Amino acid sequence: MRVRFWGTRGSIATPGPGTIRFGGNTSCVEVTTNGGACFILDCGTGARALGAALLANGSGPLSVTILLSHTHWDHIQGFPFFTPLFVPGNRITVCGPEGCARSLREVLSGQMEFTYFPVEIGQLPASITFKELGEGTHEMSGARILAQFLHHPAMTLGYRIEADGASVAYLCDHEPFAETLSHERAVRGHDEPMVHEGDRRHARFMEGAGLVIHDAQYTPDEYPSKRNWGHSTYEYAVDLAGAAGVRELLLTHHDPAHDDDFVEEIERHARGYAKRRGYRVQVSCAYEGLDLTVDPHGVEHLPAAPLTPHSDREALRGMRILVVDDDPDIRALARLALTQDGHSVSEASSGREALALIDAEVPDLLVLDLLMPAQGGLEVLGILRSMTATAALPVVVLTAMDDKVNTRAGFEAGAIDYVTKPFTIPQLAARVRACLTRSMVHSGALGA
């Protein structure tokens, strides 16, 4: 597979004398298989030059697949300037995460309404197909595309493209599920040092990949003031890639405030960190124009994961969710996050009240605070798991106790996710949507 970078900047395009080396265009990576299939990972402003290059080099109609991680501006602003869309006969498939409040077509049309752009989406001459993807394995153009939700304040997919005996994973925008990993060095095949199941899944997703392209927008010093913004540090990316036996790691989604000298420093620190931890992974910062080949590396394919069907967006609305927290402000915030997604939300202020409500009617999902007076969340969880009617009830734990012991205890007690306070409305909404998708697939409610 050939991989070319057309945009490596996060958040907003940042051209100028300070970003000449690593580039100022926002996220866009081209992946071409030996069989000629073309995948475009994100359509940030870098997609303009990529579109021009595809038209200049191609003969005959083009067929490309765009894999959008999500629809924040820095990942879609190049879409209206991607000139292959303006050529009749070209076939463009646009994929993005399912489970968003509006359809992928509606969201992309929004930025092309006449107030913002002179050509509306319906006027584009190319043949465009929209596909909303869930987690799982998708076969496209002779390649295997694996998708998995990331941790970001929006529904966001990470992708792993497997073709030609090689694998490339693209993991932008993402932040650690748990603020700190354990200080033990992660060892391949042992995910012990990772306390949060979300981080363990994330490492498994990149297991043995030839190349991982990973968000590393912030330095470890910057991260504490940017928590919940949805981005990683180089230390996190290096630790997980090292533990997953990744051959090469390219850090990307460079912060607009980081000039070339700063990004070079990040690269130096990341390499030093990998060396100190004893990882064999090669680490660099991605730059615009970087063009590399990922050779076959004999990696076994990841096992196929169950697929979610396309109708999820509607199916995932209107769930009955019970929020249990003794703090009325947290309940109000959670209610706001969940009613926006069309769910009906009920509230309980104690474990006892929650158990009584659940006894009357089992909800579709429970959001449960761990630290409550009288009866803590872990005790409530234990009672629910011991009863047949609620043994499989998906429970998202909400807590300020994000230390190693409590996080492990939460997962061992059967929580499916562990959200740390303070959280933001879009963050909680995205985490609950991802949990609902998974639990519905596993329960067979979506027939997948």
Nearest partner of 399 among 377, 414, 421, judged by Cα: 421
How far apart are alpha carbons 385 and 362 in whole angstroms?
13
Residue 10: CB minimum distance to Zn ion, A: 5
Q: Which is nearer to Zn ion, 95 or 415 (CB)?
A: 95
Q: Which is nearer to Zn ion, 10 or 377 (CB)?
A: 10
Please state the length of the chain: 448
Residue 5: CB minimum distance to Zn ion, A: 15
Residue 232: CB minimum distance to Zn ion, A: 12
Given a contact cutoff of 8 angstroms between Cβ atoms, the answer to whether 6 and 29 are in contact is yes
Residue 430: CB minimum distance to Zn ion, A: 11
> Look-up: residue for tokens 């629910």?
384
DSSP annotation of 187 reads B
Residue 141: CB minimum distance to Zn ion, A: 25
Residue 236's contacts (CB-CB under 8 Å, 6 or more residues apart) are 175, 176, 181, 216
Helix (H) or strand (E) holding 48: helix 47-57
Q: Which is nearer to Zn ion, 72 or 258 (CB)?
A: 72
Given a contact cutoff of 8 angstroms between Cβ atoms, the answer to whether 196 and 177 are in contact is yes
Residue 229: CB minimum distance to Zn ion, A: 9
Residue nearest to Zn ion (CB): 72
Q: Which is nearer to Zn ion, 27 or 407 (CB)?
A: 27
Q: Which is nearer to Zn ion, 72 or 247 (CB)?
A: 72
Phi (first) and psi of residue 180, to 5 degrees:
-125, 140
How buried is residue 16: exposed, middle or buried, by Cβ count under 10 Å (0-12/13-18/19+)? exposed
Binding-site ranges for Zn ion (CB under 5 A)? 10, 72, 74, 173
Reported in sequence order, the residue ranges of 357-414 that DSSP labels E, i.e. its strands, are 365-369, 395-399
Q: Which is nearer to Zn ion, 10 or 136 (CB)?
A: 10
Residue 86: CB minimum distance to Zn ion, A: 25
Residue 307: CB minimum distance to Zn ion, A: 24
Given a contact cutoff of 8 angstroms between Cβ atoms, the answer to whether 289 and 30 are in contact is no
Residue 355: CB minimum distance to Zn ion, A: 38
Q: Which is nearer to Zn ion, 73 or 142 (CB)?
A: 73
Given a contact cutoff of 8 angstroms between Cβ atoms, the answer to whether 419 and 397 are in contact is yes
Residue 154: CB minimum distance to Zn ion, A: 6
Strand 143-149: give its sheet, edge to edge: 136-140, 143-149, 157-163, 166-171, 211-215, 248-252, 282-285
Nearest partner of 41 among 74, 12, 88, 90, judged by Cα: 74
How far apart are alpha carbons 274 and 185 in whole angstroms?
10
- Amino acid at residue number 285: C
How far apart are alpha carbons 319 and 368 in whole angstroms?
16
Q: Which is nearer to Zn ion, 10 or 198 (CB)?
A: 10
Question: 129 forms bridges with which residues in the sheet?
Answer: 93
Residue 328: CB minimum distance to Zn ion, A: 31
Torsion angle, alpha carbons of 129, 135, 138, 141, to 10: 50
What's the token pair of residue 56?
């200049």
Q: Which is nearer to Zn ion, 162 or 175 (CB)?
A: 175
Q: Which is nearer to Zn ion, 144 or 227 (CB)?
A: 227
- Amino acid at residue number 161: I
Q: Which is nearer to Zn ion, 143 or 428 (CB)?
A: 428
